[in-house]
């Protein structure tokens, strides 16, 4: 079987403001999602789908793509989303699901699903690359969202991304001189990102505020001193806290932490970023957070 790989992502700046066109800085992760495929000319018009989490099978389905029906599946939920997504692939593609071939498709998510590194975006990009279609279009009709995660998966690189007035992005080399001092802590408190998005959308915002986050992103990208970087992270976190009127992650869990702690992506769950200090592992373990990565352990250069 042939294969495609898309990396996961971590969103370093702008969070919810990405929806309204704030400039985003996001980086790729070492782990991502693999996609394997094989086509057979057997005139059955079937899709044999297997989905693995860290090499363990969790979803298996057979789909008739002439009638878009699930023939069999090992789980009651899950196949419907795959059916919908593959139907969207057919709608956008000129080459897939057009004849009577059967397709043997297999995915393997390399990271735990609760890490929030992009299980859906990596799938969308893999399918789009395979079907030779625009991954942003597939993502828009299948899931929605700002699309920054698609850009990271597509380019396999750190990106500066903007969703409005139209999607535009560029690959950037974000490898700060102090990266060995940065750490990423998993909170193991997976949040429904839609709740945060709904809260954000319910509040009135100005273009000036959106622009402030874009400027922060530019300054963070160009920063080459850890002390200034830390100050920018504190400022960024506080601005979102003030706007959403909810506590920062540091106020919630790490009030006595001697360095910055910044949320990455949806607030309240997934990963946060911080920097090393004396006995930092003991500190976070003592708070109940034992999954800690250094930059080179989680970020793909």
Question: 217-249 pLDDT, tens per residue?
Answer: 999 999 999 999 999 999 999 999 999 999 999
Instruction: Look at residue 114 in the predicted model and tell me its pLDDT.
Output: 87
Percent of the chain with pLDDT over 90: 85
Residue 1: which pLDDT band, with cuts at 50, 70 and 90?
confident
Mean pLDDT of the 131-152 span? 95
Residue 99 φ/ψ, nearest 5 degrees:
-125, -130
Pairing of strands 102-109, 69-73: unpaired
Mean pLDDT of the 150-178 span? 96
Report pTM.
0.94
Contact 89, 37 (CB under 8 A): no
CATH fold match for the domains 2-171 and 179-298: no
- Number of C-beta neighbours around residue 126 at 10 A: 24
The string over 56-94, giving b where at least 16 C-beta atoms fall within 10 Å of a residue's C-beta and e elsewhere, is eeebbbbbebeeeeeeebeeeebbeebbebbebbeebbe
Flag whether pLDDT at 259 surpasses 60. Answer: yes
For residue 162, the cross-strand partners are 168
Flag whether pLDDT at 191 surpasses 60. Answer: no
pLDDT digit string, tens, across residues 39-58: 998 888 999 999 999 999 99
Mean pLDDT of the 271-298 span? 97
| Domain 179-298 listed as CATH 3.40.50.720 | no
Domain boundaries, the chain: 2-171, 179-298
Instruction: Look at residue 198 in the predicted model and tell me its pLDDT.
Output: 83
Mean pLDDT of the 188-196 span? 66
Instruction: Look at residue 190 in the predicted model and tell me its pLDDT.
Output: 57
Q: Which residue has the higher pLDDT, 300 or 78?
A: 300
Flag whether pLDDT at 212 surpasses 70. Answer: yes
Flag whether pLDDT at 192 surpasses 60. Answer: no
Q: Which residue has the higher pLDDT, 99 or 185?
A: 185
Instruction: Look at residue 269 in the predicted model and tell me its pLDDT.
Output: 65
| Domain 2-171 listed as CATH 2.60.40.3120 | no
Flag whether pLDDT at 183 surpasses 60. Answer: yes
Mean pLDDT of the 117-135 span? 97
Residue 202: which pLDDT band, with cuts at 50, 70 and 90?
confident
Residue 252: which pLDDT band, with cuts at 50, 70 and 90?
very high
Q: How far apart are CA 245 and CA 17, in angstroms?
A: 15
Contact 193, 264 (CB under 8 A): no
Flag whether pLDDT at 37 surpasses 80. Answer: yes
For the chain, the average pLDDT equals 94
Q: How far apart are CA 123 and CA 5, in angstroms?
A: 9
Flag whether pLDDT at 11 surpasses 80. Answer: yes
Flag whether pLDDT at 261 surpasses 60. Answer: yes
- Number of C-beta neighbours around residue 54 at 10 A: 12
Flag whether pLDDT at 188 surpasses 90. Answer: no
Per residue, what are the HEC states of the chain?
Answer: CEEEEEEEEEECCCHHHHHHCCCEEEEEEEEEEEEEEEEECCCCCEEEEEEEECCEEEEEEEEECCCCEEEEECCCCCHHHHHHHHHHHHHHCCCCCCCCCEEEEEEEECCCHHHCCCHHHHHHHHHHHHHCCCHHHHHHHHCCCCCHHHHHHHHCCCEEEECCCCCEEEECCCCCCCHHHEEEEECCCCCCHHHHHHHHHCCCCCHHHHHHHHHHHHHHHHCCCHHHHHHHHHHHHHHHHHHHCCCCHHHHHCCCCCCCEEECCCCCCCEEEEECCCCHHHHHHHCCCCCEEEHHHHECC
What's the token pair of residue 70? 């699930």
């Amino acid at each position: 079987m042939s294969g495609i790989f898309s990396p996961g992502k971590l969103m370093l700046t702008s969070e919810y403001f990405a929806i309204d066109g704030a400039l985003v800085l996001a980086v790729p992760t070492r782990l991502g999602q693999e996609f394997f495929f094989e086509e057979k000319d057997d005139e059955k018009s079937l899709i044999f789908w297997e989905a693995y989490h860290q090499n363990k099978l969790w979803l298996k389905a057979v789909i008739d793509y002439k009638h878009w029906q699930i023939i069999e599946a090992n789980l009651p939920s899950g196949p419907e989303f795959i059916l919908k997504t593959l139907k969207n692939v057919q709608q956008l593609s000129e080459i897939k699901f057009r004849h009577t071939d059967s397709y043997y498709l297999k995915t393997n998510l390399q990271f735990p699903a609760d890490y929030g590194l992009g299980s859906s975006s990596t799938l969308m990009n893999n399918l789009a690359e395979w079907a030779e279609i625009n991954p942003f279009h597939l993502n828009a009709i299948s899931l929605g969202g700002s699309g920054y995660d698609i850009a990271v998966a597509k380019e396999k690189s750190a990106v500066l991304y903007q969703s409005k007035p139209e999607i535009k992005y560029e690959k950037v080399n974000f490898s700060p001189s102090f990266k060995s001092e940065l750490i990423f802590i998993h909170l193991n408190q997976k949040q429904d990102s839609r709740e945060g998005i709904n809260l954000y959308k319910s509040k009135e915002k100005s273009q000036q505020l959106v622009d402030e986050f874009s400027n922060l992103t530019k300054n963070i990208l160009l920063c080459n001193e850890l002390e200034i970087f830390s100050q920018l992270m504190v400022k960024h976190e506080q601005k979102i806290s003030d706007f959403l009127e909810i506590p920062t992650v540091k106020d919630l869990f790490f009030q006595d932490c001697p360095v910055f702690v910044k949320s990455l992506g949806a607030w309240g769950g997934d990963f946060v970023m911080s920097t090393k200090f004396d006995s930092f592992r003991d500190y976070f373990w003592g708070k109940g957070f034992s999954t800690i990565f250094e930059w080179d352990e989680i970020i793909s250069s």
